[in-house]
Chains A and B, each alone.
Chain A
Amino acid sequence: MSEHFPALQVLLPVLTAPLCLLLRHPTLVRVLSLAVTVGCLGISLALMEQAREVGTVVYEFGNWPRPLGIEYAVDTTNAFVLVIVSMIAAVVLPIGCRNSQVPEGREYLFYSAFLLCFGGLLGVAITGDVFNIFVFLEISSLATYILIAMGRDRRAIMAAYSYLIVGTIGATFLLIGIGLLYQMTGTLNIADLAVRLEDVKETRTVIVAFAFAMVGISIKLAVLPLHHWLPNAYTHAPPVVSAFLSATATKVAYYLMLRFIYTILGAGFVFDVLQFDVILTPLSLAAMFIGSLAAIYQTDFKRLLAYSSIAQIGYMTLGLSLNSELGAAAGIVHLFNHALMKGGLFLVAGCVLLRVGSTAIVDMRGLGSRMPLTASALVIAGLGMIGVPGTVGFVSKWALVSAALDQQAWQITVLILLSSLLALVYVWRLIEVMYLTEAPEGAERREAPPLYLIPTWILVLASVYFGFNTESTLGVARAAAHQLLGGAG
C-alpha cells in the first residue's frame, strides 16, 4: 500500500472530484472530500518521512522505466510542498463554501472544483515529468477560475476572467519552454532532462526555453510586474478559496521555479551564465516595497492581504535570487510559514465577512470587542507578518537575513528590515481600527461560529508553535535546499 502513496496522493482527490458530481448529496460530498483531504495529508506526511529516509521516492506508472514512462519523484523539497498544500486544504475545507454565490443544494460543485484544484496542485508538485506539470497546472488552474468566480461580488467573475487570460498565457509560455527543451533533448523526464541538457545548455533554444518557462512560472507566482491578476482574484474569491489559494497556489509555482532552476537547468547556468538574478533581485525588492506600500493604502482588508502576499512573494524570490543554499532554504521555509500566516489571515477575513458583511477596513472598527477571538487571531498572525520573534514570520526573516548576510549583501539586509517596517504600518493600521476605535453604532457583538474559528486558530496557533519549533520547518527546508543544490540527499 505505502509504495503506491505517490500515485494515491494525486489520484485520490482527482478521482473523488467526478464522484462528487455524481453523488450530489451535500453532506455526503462534504464528508467525502474532507476524508480525502485528510487522507492526502496523511499520505503527504508519510511521503515526507520516506523521502527523508531514502532521498528520493520514485514511482513509475505502469512500471515503465525512466525516461519512457511517467514517473513521480518525491524528494524533500516537493514532499514539503505536498505537506503544505494538503495541510492547508485539510484545515480550510471544513468551512466549505459559505459566503459564496453557490446556491443551496449545489455545494457539490464547489467540492469537486476544490478537489480538482487540490489534486492539480499536488500533481504539479509530485510529478517528475515536465509535460505532466503543464497538465496538472491547467487542471488546478481551471478549477481555480471556477472557484474564484464563486465569490459573492460580481467583480469575482471579472477577476476570474482576468486570471483565466493571464494564467493561460503563463501556462502556455511554460508549455513553449517545455516544448523547446524537449526539442533539444527528446525527453520529458526531469531527471533525464537534467542529464541530457548538460551537452546542449548553451544553445539559443535552451536559453529561449528558459526565458519562456521562467516568465510562465513568474505569472503563476505573481512576481512583481506580472502580479496584477492576484489582488482582484484573492479579494473577490470566497474566503476559503482565498485562504487556500494564497497558501498553496503561489507556493506550488515557487516550487516549480526552484525545480526548473536548480534541478533542470542548474544554478550555475541560470545565475552565472544567464544572470537571472540581475532581473529577479530588483523585481523581488520592488515587490517587497510596492506590495507593502500598496497594502498600507488599501481600504479593504482582503485586498490589503492580497498586496501583502505580493510583498511576501518578493521575500521568497529574493531568497531564490541570492543563489545560495541558505537563500533557497529561506525561500522554502517561507513557503510554509507564509502559508500558515496568510491562510490564517484570509480565514479571519472570512470570519469578518460572515459577521460584519463586508471586509472594508472601516467596517472593522471596534472588532476587538465585537469579535475578540477573531481580532486576536488577526493580531497574532499580523505580528507574524511583521516578523516579531516567537512567530513563524521571524523564522523566515531570520533565515532570509542570515542568507543575505552570508552573501555579504548588507544593502539587501537593510532593505528587508525596512520593508518589515512597512508591514508594521499596515498591521498597526488594522490593530488601531480594531482596538482603538469604537464600534459603529448598532453593530452587533457576535463572535464567528466555531466552524470558522477553529480552522483559523489552528493556523494561527501553528504560526506561533512553529515560531518556536524551528526544527521541523527550517531544518527540513535546509535539508531540502541542500538536496536541491546537489548535495547528497
Chain B
Amino acid sequence: MSEEGPLSEAPEVDEARGHRQAPQVDLHGREGHTLSAAESARIPAVGEGWFEQPSNINKIIWALVAVCVASVGADLFSLYHKHGHYGFQEWIGFDAFYGFVSCVLLVLVAKQLRKVSMRDENYYD
C-alpha cells in the first residue's frame, strides 16, 4: 500500500458530517465494505462524540483524580495493612509517586531519544 494514496483517495461519503470512508486494505483484495448511508448516519459526526466534548473529558479527568486521591487516601488513613518486601514499599503513596514520576521521566527521556533516532518515514527505502 502506498503511504499517501488510500487516505487521500478515500471517498467523502458525508462531507457535512466530516465522515470519510476508509479504503479497504484487506486480507488479499476482498471487496471494500462501503458503509450505507443509514449506517453512516448512525455514527456521530466529527466532534459530536461523547468523548469529544471538552466537558466530558474534564469529567473523566476529575473522576480519575478522585480515584487517585482515594487510592492514596487508603494509604493515608491506613485503611488496610500495607505489606511489601522492602521498607520503602510501605511508605504512604510510594507506588503512586513512583508510577507518576517514572511515567513522566519515561516520556521526557523518550522525547530526547526522538532527537537522536527519528528519521524520515521512508528512511530505509
Does A touch B (CB under 8 Å) in the complex? Answer: no
Footprint of A on B, CB under 8 Å? none
